[in-house]
Amino acid sequence: MTVPVFPVSDPAPSLHRLAGVFDDLACVLFRRELGPDGRLTYPMVSPTLSRLVGHLVLQEGTSDLVHPADRPGLQEAIETSARHLTLCREQFRVVTANGETRWLRGASEPQRLPDGRIAWEGAWIDISAWMRADYEFKTLSEHPEEALFVLDQADQIIWGNTEAQHLFGHSLEGLRGRPFASLFRGGLPDLSACSLPGTERSGEGLAEREDAAPLLFRYSVRDVAVGDHGTRIVAGHDAQRAAPSDDAPPSPFSSDSDWFWETDARDCLTFASEQIGGVLGVKPSALVGHSWFEIGLDDTPEFALILRTCIEARIRFRDLVFSVGPPGGRDRRTLRLSGLPIFTPDGFYCGYRGIGTDITREVMAEHRAQRAHQQLVDAIESFTGAIAVYDPDDRLFICNPAYSQSFDPMGVFVKPGASFEQILHECHHRHVFDLGAVDFETWLADRLRRHHKADGEAFIVKLTDGRWMLSRECAMHGGGVVSIRTDITELKQREQDLDDLRRRYEVILDSAGEGIVGLDAAGRVNFANRMAGTILGRTPDAMTGMVFHDLINPDAPASSPLPTSAFGSGREPPFSTPLREACHSTVTAQVSTEIRRASDGCLIPVDFFVAPVAKDNGRAGNVLVFRDATERLRFERSREEQQRELERQVSVRTAELKGEIIVRRRVEGALRQSRERLKAMTDSLFEGVLVMDSQGQISFANPSARQLLACGEVEGHPLDSVLGIRTLQGDLPFVDSPLRRVLETGVTVRDDDAVFTTPAGAVLDVAYACSPLGEDGARRSAVLSFRDIQSLKRAQRELFQASRLSSVGQLAAGIAHEINTPVQYIGDNLRFIDEALGTVFTAIEEARTLSQALAQAGTNGAALEAAREALSSTIDRSNFSFLGAEVPVAVRESLDGVEQIARIVLSMKDFSHPGTSTKTMTDLNRALESTLTVSRNVWKHAATIVRAFQADLPPVLCHAGEMNQVFLNLIVNAVHAIEASGKPLPGTITVTTSTDGPFVEVRVTDTGTGIPEEIRERLFDPFFTTKEVGKGTGQGLAICRDVVATKHGGTLEAGGEPGQGAVFTVRLPVDGTPTDHEDS
Amino acid sequence: MDRPRVLFVDDEPHVLRGLMRSMSSMAGQWDTFFFASGPEALAWIDANGPVDVIVSDMRMPGMDGAQVLETVRRDHPATVRVILSGYAEESAILRTVGPAHLYLAKPCTPAALQQAIARPLALRERMTDPGLRSALTGLSNLPSLPAVYGEIEAELRSPLASARSVAAIIARDLAMTAELLRLTNSAYFSLGTPAATPLQALRAVGLETVQTLVLGIGLFRQFSGRPGDLPMLEALTRFSLDLAGRCEALALASGAPAELAKVAHCTGMLSHIGTLVLIDAHGAAYRTILPRVDVKNPLDRLEQETFGAAHGLIGAYLLGLWGFAPSLVEAVAHAWHPREAPAGGDNPLLGVLHGALALGPAPLLASTVEGTRPALDRAYLARVGLDSHVPAWQALISSPCSKGTR
C-alpha cells in the first residue's frame, strides 16, 4: 500500500511565484496526484507545512509525516474520492519535529487529468487547538454525578455528557438538536434571563426521562462566550438525590426566613409578614406601630444612621443590618432589611415597603469566621518567624509582617491577593534573593515545585542582603499552603564562623608534621588531618566516621566500636592492643605500634600520642597524634647497623679472600688435573696430535705423533722439519699445504686418504684432520690429528683380493652352469652315439656273419637265411636313417660342447690370471673376451653383448687379473643396471676398446637408466651402493677406481645421459705408470 | 590307457636335442615332446591337453622354470613337475620348492632322468582315482600344528636360533619334517644320501635357507581347518612320533645299522602323511569313519572306500612325488599288507614299519585297537627273515621305557 507522503518531487514553477503569498498562509495548500501505478505524489505543498511540523519538508524529503494510525483512514478517503471524483475530506495527525501531534483537517477537489492521473488541489488547516480544547472540555465535563448540557443560542442541545445522557435516559443522538426546555414538563422559564457572560443562574424543573419517569432537575446556567457566539452551559443533577457535595452552597430557594414589611409615613411598621414571628419570636402584630429603630436598629448606630438618612431623604436602602435582642443572648437576632419608599401617584410619601431577612446565622457564622480569622491573624502576627498562608489558588491569604518584611520591607507587593509566583517575580525583580549560580527560571521552577509540593521539608534561601531564611511549606487541609520562614542568618553566621574556624584549624593541623585524628567516644574518627591521611594511606575525608582501629588494621576482624564508657559495659573488644588500651585510658599515653597502610598494604611503624578528651567527668573521645616512626627506627637502626655493617663487611671480605684462595687453589688444581688429563689423553691416543702456531711452529706433539713421524722432541721446531704432505703434485711444504689454510681461514680441513712424508724419507698413509684452535687470525693455532691408515689400506687391498675371490666364487656357480649345460648334452649325445654304435656294430657283426654265410654259399641255406634274417631285423628295428642323420649331428654338437668347455676353462685361466704379481703386457681385447666368457651366465639372459674392439689395440702394461676384475665389475654393474631399469630384456651392453694417444680406453655402455648427476661421484665412495642387499657389497666401483687410478695411473669415470644408460670409461696408460704400490 | 606323455622344456637347443636323443630309447613307452621355451610348451598343453610329467630347465629368458611349473600346477594339478637345471643360484632354486616335485641337476644321466619320470608314473598307476591324484599332485605343502608353527616362526626369527634348536621343533611336526626332508631329496641340497632326520636335513640345507624358506617363501603352512579337527591332527602327530620311535627301536633290535635305523625312524614318522592329507582335506568325513572301524571293517579299507585310497597309498604317492627313497615309499605304501609289495616286500623298512604298526597301539583317537592296525603277518616276516625278531619286538614295545626311543 502506498502511504501518502509529501515529497516535493518537482515543485511547480507557480510555487516559486506564489511563494511569498503561501508563506504567510495559515493553511497548507497542496496538490496531490495519483499516478496510474497507484503511487501518490505531492508535487506541491506550501511551506506552511514545514513551519507547522517544525522542520523543512524537503523536496526529496519523503518523511512520513502522517501519523501511522491515520494512514489507513486517509488512504481510504483518497481512494474513495478518486473513485467517485468527489470532494475528499481529510483529517489526520502529523507528528512535528518536537514530537507533538498536530491535527490537520482539509478538503481537496479531485480532477481527472488527460493522461489518466487524478490530481487534487486543496488545503489543510491546523485544528490542533480546537481539537485539544474540545478534548479537554469533554474530559473535564465527564465529571461524575453532574450532568452537563451545552446549548446553542436557541437553547437547543448541542451536546450532553455521559451523566446527562444517563440521567435523562437519552442517547447523545437523542439529545442533540432538541430544545432544552422540551426535556421538562410544561417547559422552563427563559434561560436567557441571565444574559451576562460569566453570571450564573440556578433553577429547578420537573423533567421527564426517556422512560417517562419524572425527574426533578436542579440546575445552574452559565453563559459562555465561545468565539463570537454565545453558548450556554447547563449543569445540574437530580434534586431528589442527596446533594452531590456538602460543600455546595445552600440553594437560595431553600431560604424560608424572608418576610415583607411596610411602614407608614411615620416610619412605623404597618405590616410584617408571618415569617417574622418565627424570627423574632413575636406575633407580627406585636411589631406594628414600632419603628425599626425601636425594635433594635438603634443598637447598631452606623446602620441606624444610614436608615435615618435614607428615610429622611426618602431614598431606597439596601441590606441594612441590625440586631435585635440582648447582646450575647440566645435570642439575639440579626436582621437585614431592604426597603423602597412608596409614594402616592401624586408624590406623597406614604412609607416604605421592603423585605427583611433573618441573617442571624450568617452573621454569627461570619462573626465566628471573623473571630477565627482574627485569631489566625493574631497567631500569625504573634509568630516570631515569618508566616504566610496561600489559598488554593496560590494567592497570598494572609501573612505576618515578618513575612512581608522579609521580602518587601516597603510593603509594596507582598499583599493578600498577590499570587506566590508574582511575589517571587517581584522579589527577583528587586534582587531579593541570592540565587547563586542558578538562573532564575530554573530557580523559580524549583521554588514553585517545592511550594506546590509543600511537604514541610525545610530548605534554605539566601537573600542578597546577606540574610539566610529557612523556609518550610506545608499543605493545608482543603488546599492552600502555609509558608513559614525563619531568619537563620545568625545561625548561618555562626555556622560559617565555626566553619572558618574549623578550616583555620584544619589548615594549621594539616600543616602539622604529625598525623592528628580526633576520635569520638566510640572510637570513630571525627577529624583527621592531612598528615594522618598520608601516614595511613587514606584521604582524611574517607576516614571520617570510620572506626580508627579498623583503619589502621584492616586485616583484623571488624571491630565493634569502643565502649562509650571507660568503665565499659563488660563487652570486651574482640582483641586488645596497646593503642586500644591507651584510648581507654584517661591519661595521656604514648604507644608505638605497627599499622597497616591502606594504600599499599605495608606495615609501617608508628608512634602514637594518645590524649583523652574529657567531658563531664568522662571520656568524650581521644586525640591521637602520631608520626611515621620509620625514619626514627631507621635512624636508630642505622647507627647499630653501621657498626654491624662494618663488621660484616670486614668478615665478608675476609671470607671472600679465603674463598678466592680456595677457588684459586681449586682452579689451579683443576687446571693441573685437566692438563694432566689432557696429557694422559693425548699420550694414550693412537692418533698423532700436533699443535702448531700460526707460523707453522710445533708447540705440542703427543707420543703417538712422535712415534708415527719417527722423531724426538719437536716442540719449537717448524712443521716442515717433521712432515710434508705428499700429493700428486709432489711434497708440499707447510706454506703451500692445506694446513696453512686452516690457520688463515679457520676452517677445518680433513682428508681421509693422504700421504705424509718425513724428512727421513718415510711415507705414511694417513687420515688427518686439522682444526683451528683459538679465535682470532693472528694468534690462531691449529691442531693436527692424524692416524696411520697403512693397515687400513692393507685391509682394503685384502678386501679387494677377497672380493676378487668372492666374485670368482660367485662366477663359479654361473661357470658351473655354463659347463654343466654342454656336459649334459655331451653326455646325452655320447650315450646316444654309444647306443647307435652298438646297433651299428650289431648290424656290422650280423652283416659279417651274413657275409661269412655267403662265403660258404650253398653249404647251409638255413644258416644263411638266419643271418640274413638277423641283419634284416636289426636294420628294421634300428631306425638307421634316423641314426645316420642324428649321429653326425650329435658328434658335432658334442664337439661344440667340448670346445665350449675348453673355452670356458681357458677364459677362467685368463680371467684369474694366476701367478703374476707384476704387470704384464696384456691384450685388453682378449682380456675382455675372457671376462665376457666367464661371466656369460651373468649377462646372457639380460643383455646382448656388442663387441666394438679396436683390432690393432696395443698391448697394455697392466695387472691383467686385476683389470679383468675391473671389467667384470663393470659388466656385472651393466647387467644389474639393465635388469633394474625395467626396460624390456634383453638390453645391450656395448664394450668398446680404442686408443687415445698414450692411453687405451675401454668403455662399457649399458642401456639401463643411467646415473643421476648427483650420485655420479659418490658412486666411487667405498660405502655407497645403489644395490639392494644381496646384490653385492657395493664396494666394486671403489675398488675399481683404486685399481685403475692407484695401481695403473689411469682414470675411471662414470658418464652417460641419465635415462639413456651409463657409460663407464677406463683409461689406462699404454706403457703403464710405475706407482709406489708396485712393490706392495 | 594312453601312453604317458612327457614334456621337456629347455632354452638351450643343444640340450634339448641331447634330451631328445637320450629319450629316444623310451620312445616305445612314452610320448615325448620338446620345447625351447615355457610359453611354447604351455601353448601346446593348452591345445593338446595336460601331460603326465613336465621336465623344465630353470633359467630361461622370459619365463623361467618356476613360472612354467607354477602355471602347470595351477592349470593341470595332476601333472608331475620336475626341474632339470644346471643353474645353482639358491634364490632361484628356492622358488621351485613349491611348484616342483623334484629338482634334478645337470648333468643328469638319462637313466636317472628316466627313473625320476618313471617312478611317479608307476605310482600313478596305483593311484587310480584321478580326482585324488590330481589333488595330491597339486598340493604344494602340508598343514602344521599351529602351536609348533608359532614356535618355529619365533625360533627362526630369534637371533639365538641354531640348527639343533630349529630341528628339535621341526621334528615334532609331521608336515614340517616331511617338507624339510623333501628338500634334501633335491639335487641341489643333496649331500649324496638323502637326510633321514630333520637335524641332518637342516645341516644339509642350512639354517639360513630354512629361514628364507619358512619366513620368506612360506614353506610351512599352519593348519587352518576346522578347530574340531585339530585334536585329531595332534593325536596323529603324537602317534607318528611314537611310531617313528618304535620303528627305530625295532630296526636296531633286528640288528640293522644305525643309519638304517635312522631311516626307519624317518619311515615311521612319514608313514601317516596320507592320514594328514585326509584330515586336512576331509576332516569331518575322516572323523565319521573312525567309529566304524572294527575287525571286519579295518581302517584302510574304510579309507579306501570313503576316499578312494587308503592313507598308506596316499602317503606313498606323495612321498614318491617328492623323491623320497623307493624303499621308504614302498614301506609306507604297503605297511598294512606287506606281502602285496612288489618283489615280495623284501625291504627291511617295510618289515620294521609293519611290525611297529601291528604291534603298537591304535592310531588316532580310535577307541579300539582291532581294525585300526594291521594284523601281524608272520608269514611275510618269516619270508623276509624278520620273524625271529618278533619276540624281541614284542618285548620292546610292551616295555614302557622304549616309548621315547628315537
Q: Chain A contacts of B109, Cβ < 8 Å?
A: 827, 831
Q: Chain A contacts of B21, Cβ < 8 Å?
A: 828-829, 831-832, 886, 890
Q: Chain A contacts of B110, Cβ < 8 Å?
A: 827-828, 831
Domain end (from A366, A398, A421): A366
Q: Chain B contacts of A890, Cβ < 8 Å?
A: 17-18, 21
Domain end (from B126, B155, B188): B126
CA distance A831 to chain B (A): 7
Task: Identify whether residues B243 and B380 lie together within a single domain.
Answer: yes
Torsion sign, CA atoms B225, B205, B66, B134? negative
Q: Chain B contacts of A828, Cβ < 8 Å?
A: 15, 18-19, 21-22, 110
Nearest to A589 by CA among A570, A571, A568, A566: A566
What's the pLDDT score for residue A257?
57
B138 occurs within a structural domain: no
- Residue with more model confidence, A286 or B317: B317
What's the pLDDT score for residue A1074?
52
Nearest to A828 among B18, B62, B87 (CB): B18
Looking at chain A, which residue has its C-alpha nearest residue B89?
A: A813
Looking at chain B, which residue has its C-alpha nearest residue A823?
A: B107
Task: Identify whether residues B118 and B171 lie together within a single domain.
Answer: no
Task: Identify whether residues A535 and A657 lie together within a single domain.
Answer: no
Does the beta carbon of A824 lie under 8 angstroms from any beta carbon of chain B? yes
A904 occurs within a structural domain: no
CB A606 within 8 A of CB A534: no
CA distance B54 to chain A (A): 18
Instruction: Compute the average pLDDT of residues B268-291.
Output: 86
B28 occurs within a structural domain: yes
Interface A-B: count of C-beta contacts within 8 A: 76
- Residue with more model confidence, A406 or B44: B44
Q: In chain B, helix, strand, coil percent, each to 5?
A: 60, 5, 30
Query: Exposed, middle or buried: residue A237 (CB in 10 Å: 0-12, 13-18, 19+)?
Result: buried
The angle subtended at Cα A410 by Cα A405 and Cα A412, nearest 5°, is 100
Task: Identify whether residues A295 and A358 lie together within a single domain.
Answer: yes
CB-based contacts of A114, cutoff 8 Å, min separation 6: none
| Interface probe with A: pick from B21, B90, B114, most Cβ of A within 10 Å | B21
CB-based contacts of B72, cutoff 8 Å, min separation 6: B42, B45, B50, B54, B79, B81, B99
CB-based contacts of A1003, cutoff 8 Å, min separation 6: A990, A991, A992, A993, A994, A1063, A1064, A1065, A1066
A403 occurs within a structural domain: yes
What's the pLDDT score for residue A992?
92
Does the beta carbon of A816 lie under 8 angstroms from any beta carbon of chain B? yes
Does the beta carbon of A896 lie under 8 angstroms from any beta carbon of chain B? yes
CATH number at residue B45: 3.40.50.2300
How would you list the strands of the sheet with A455-462, edge to edge? A396-399, A386-390, A481-487, A468-475, A455-462
Task: Identify whether residues B239 and B381 lie together within a single domain.
Answer: yes
Task: Identify whether residues A28 and A150 lie together within a single domain.
Answer: no
Q: Chain B contacts of A825, Cβ < 8 Å?
A: 12, 14-15, 17-19
Does the beta carbon of A893 lie under 8 angstroms from any beta carbon of chain B? yes
CB A715 within 8 A of CB A698: yes
Q: Chain B contacts of A985, Cβ < 8 Å?
A: 61-62
- Residue with more model confidence, A467 or A228: A467
Query: What DSSP character marks residue A697?
Result: B
Task: Identify whether residues B235 and B278 lie together within a single domain.
Answer: yes
Are the beta carbons of B21 and A823 separated by less than 8 Å? no
Does the beta carbon of A817 lie under 8 angstroms from any beta carbon of chain B? yes
Does the beta carbon of B288 lie under 8 angstroms from any beta carbon of chain A? no
Task: Identify whether residues B156 and B81 lie together within a single domain.
Answer: no
C-alpha to C-alpha distances, B111 to A75, A886, A1052, B107, B114, nearest whole angstrom: 126, 20, 52, 12, 5
CB B188 within 8 A of CB B103: yes
| pLDDT, tens digit (0-9, with 9 covering 90-100), for A50-91 | 777 776 665 444 346 777 778 888 888 888 888 888 888 888
Does the beta carbon of A293 lie under 8 angstroms from any beta carbon of chain B? no
Task: Identify whether residues A654 and A606 lie together within a single domain.
Answer: no
Are the beta carbons of A823 and B108 separated by less than 8 Å? no
What's the pLDDT score for residue A520?
83
Task: Identify whether residues A221 and A340 lie together within a single domain.
Answer: no
CA distance B88 to chain A (A): 6
| pLDDT, tens digit (0-9, with 9 covering 90-100), for A299-330 | 677 777 777 888 887 887 877 777 777 766 66
Q: Which of A130-144, A928-942, A1066-1080, B160-174 has the highest mean pLDDT?
A: B160-174
| pLDDT, tens digit (0-9, with 9 covering 90-100), for A113-147 | 888 888 888 888 888 777 776 666 665 565 556 77
Does the beta carbon of A880 lie under 8 angstroms from any beta carbon of chain B? no
Are the beta carbons of A821 and B106 separated by less than 8 Å? yes
Report the Cα–Cα distance between both ends of chain B, in Å, rounded.
44
> What is the grid cell recorded at A850?
651274413
Rounded distance, CA A486 to CA A459, Å?
Answer: 10
Domain end (from B79, B95, B126): B126
Q: Which of A507-516, A572-581, B284-293 has the highest mean pLDDT?
A: B284-293
Q: Checking DSSP bridges between strand A147-151 and strand A157-160, what pairing results, if any?
A: antiparallel
Task: Identify whether residues B189 and B268 lie together within a single domain.
Answer: no
pLDDT over 90, % of chain A = 1
Q: Which amino acid is at B116?
A: A
Are the beta carbons of A817 and B59 separated by less than 8 Å? yes
CB A922 within 8 A of CB A958: yes
Nearest to A821 among B24, B62, B86 (CB): B86
Does the beta carbon of A961 lie under 8 angstroms from any beta carbon of chain B? no
What's the pLDDT score for residue B43?
94
B303 occurs within a structural domain: yes
Instruction: Compute the average pLDDT of residues A388-402.
Output: 80
Torsion sign, CA atoms A554, A557, A561, A562? negative
CB A488 within 8 A of CB A460: yes
| Interface probe with B: pick from A811, A821, A830, most Cβ of B within 10 Å | A821
Task: Identify whether residues A708 and A725 lie together within a single domain.
Answer: yes
| Interface probe with A: pick from B10, B103, B106, B113, most Cβ of A within 10 Å | B106
| pLDDT, tens digit (0-9, with 9 covering 90-100), for B189-202 | 655 667 788 888 88
Task: Identify whether residues B383 and B318 lie together within a single domain.
Answer: yes
Q: Which of A590-594, A777-781, A1010-1014, B257-261 has the lowest mean pLDDT?
A: A777-781
Residue A541 CA neighbour count, 13 Å, CB half: 0
Task: Identify whether residues A782 and A816 lie together within a single domain.
Answer: no
B261 occurs within a structural domain: yes
Rounded distance, CA B63 to CA A634, Å?
Answer: 106
B367 occurs within a structural domain: yes
What's the pLDDT score for residue A516?
83
What's the pLDDT score for residue A16?
57
CATH number at residue A361: 3.30.450.20
Q: Which of A42-51, A571-580, A648-657, B378-387 has the lowest mean pLDDT?
A: A571-580
A34 occurs within a structural domain: yes
Task: Identify whether residues A54 and A161 lie together within a single domain.
Answer: no
Q: Which of A64-78, A831-845, A848-862, B266-280 has the lowest mean pLDDT?
A: A848-862
CB-based contacts of A994, cutoff 8 Å, min separation 6: A950, A953, A1000, A1001, A1003
A905 occurs within a structural domain: no
In chain B, the number of structural domains is 3
Nearest to A702 by CA among A714, A693, A694: A714
Residue showing cell 602347470: B72
Does the beta carbon of B19 lie under 8 angstroms from any beta carbon of chain A? yes
Q: Chain B contacts of A824, Cβ < 8 Å?
A: 15, 18, 86, 106-108
Does the beta carbon of A547 lie under 8 angstroms from any beta carbon of chain B? no
3-state secondary structure string, A898-961?
HHHHHHHHHHHHHHHCCCCCCCEEECHHHHHHHHHHHCHHHHCCCEEEEEECCCCCCCEEECHH
C-alpha to C-alpha distances, A191 to A101, A176, A181, A218, A380, nearest whole angstrom: 39, 18, 9, 13, 47
Helix A924-934 and helix A790-855: axis angle, to 10°?
A: 70
CA distance A1018 to chain B (A): 30
Is 90 exceeded by the pLDDT of residue B53? yes
Rounded distance, CA A377 to CA A549, Å?
Answer: 58
Domain end (from A205, A238, A271): A238
- Residue with more model confidence, A179 or A366: A179
Task: Identify whether residues B213 and B247 lie together within a single domain.
Answer: no
- Residue with more model confidence, A22 or A1029: A22
C-alpha to C-alpha distances, A437 to A441, A442, A443, nearest whole angstrom: 12, 11, 10
What's the pLDDT score for residue A194?
45
Task: Identify whether residues B233 and B295 lie together within a single domain.
Answer: yes
What's the pLDDT score for residue A72?
82
CB-based contacts of B55, cutoff 8 Å, min separation 6: B6, B7, B8, B9, B19, B82, B83, B84, B104, B113, B117
Q: Chain A contacts of B107, Cβ < 8 Å?
A: 820, 823-824, 827
Q: Chain A contacts of B108, Cβ < 8 Å?
A: 824
Looking at chain B, which residue has its C-alpha nearest residue A883?
A: B21
A795 occurs within a structural domain: no
Nearest to A813 among B24, B89, B109 (CB): B89
Query: What DSSP character marks residue B28?
Result: T
Task: Identify whether residues B191 and B119 lie together within a single domain.
Answer: no
Instruction: Compute the average pLDDT of residues B305-331.
Output: 87
For residue A484, the SS3 value is: strand
| Interface probe with A: pick from B14, B25, B114, B209, most Cβ of A within 10 Å | B14
- Residue with more model confidence, A528 or A411: A528
Domain residue limits at B159: 146-222
- Residue with more model confidence, B316 or B139: B316
Are the beta carbons of B87 and A813 separated by less than 8 Å? yes
What is the average pLDDT value for chain A, to the nearest integer? 76
Domain end (from A131, A161, A196): A131
Query: What DSSP character marks residue A591?
Result: E
Q: Which of A16-20, A340-344, A698-702 has the lowest mean pLDDT?
A: A16-20
Q: Which of A182-191, A212-221, A613-622, A818-827 has the highest mean pLDDT?
A: A818-827
A495 occurs within a structural domain: no
Strands, E assignment, A369-489: 386-390, 396-399, 455-462, 468-475, 481-487
Task: Identify whether residues A302 and A414 lie together within a single domain.
Answer: no
Rounded distance, CA B317 to CA A550, Å?
Answer: 112
B369 occurs within a structural domain: yes
CATH number at residue B250: 1.10.3210.10
A246 occurs within a structural domain: no
Is 70 exceeded by the pLDDT of residue A555? no
Task: Identify whether residues B184 and B271 lie together within a single domain.
Answer: no
What's the pLDDT score for residue A927?
87
- Residue with more model confidence, B178 or A235: B178
Does the beta carbon of B27 lie under 8 angstroms from any beta carbon of chain A? no
CA distance B393 to chain A (A): 48
- Residue with more model confidence, B78 or A1076: B78
| pLDDT, tens digit (0-9, with 9 covering 90-100), for B24-48 | 888 778 899 999 999 999 999 999 9
Q: Which amino acid is at A643?
A: Q
Domain residue limits at A121: 13-131
C-alpha to C-alpha distances, A883 to A94, A847, A879, nearest whole angstrom: 137, 17, 6
B132 occurs within a structural domain: no
B209 occurs within a structural domain: yes
- Residue with more model confidence, B185 or B301: B301
Task: Identify whether residues A94 and A189 lie together within a single domain.
Answer: no
Are the beta carbons of B88 and A816 separated by less than 8 Å? yes
Domain end (from B193, B222, B251): B222
Task: Identify whether residues B360 and B242 lie together within a single domain.
Answer: yes
Task: Identify whether residues A620 and A662 lie together within a single domain.
Answer: no
Are the beta carbons of A835 and B25 separated by less than 8 Å? yes
> What is the grid cell recorded at A918?
707384476
In chain A, the number of structural domains is 9
Task: Identify whether residues A702 and A753 lie together within a single domain.
Answer: yes
Nearest to A890 among B15, B21, B25 (CB): B21
A805 occurs within a structural domain: no
| pLDDT, tens digit (0-9, with 9 covering 90-100), for B225-255 | 788 788 888 888 888 898 899 899 889 988 8
Q: Chain A contacts of B27, Cβ < 8 Å?
A: none
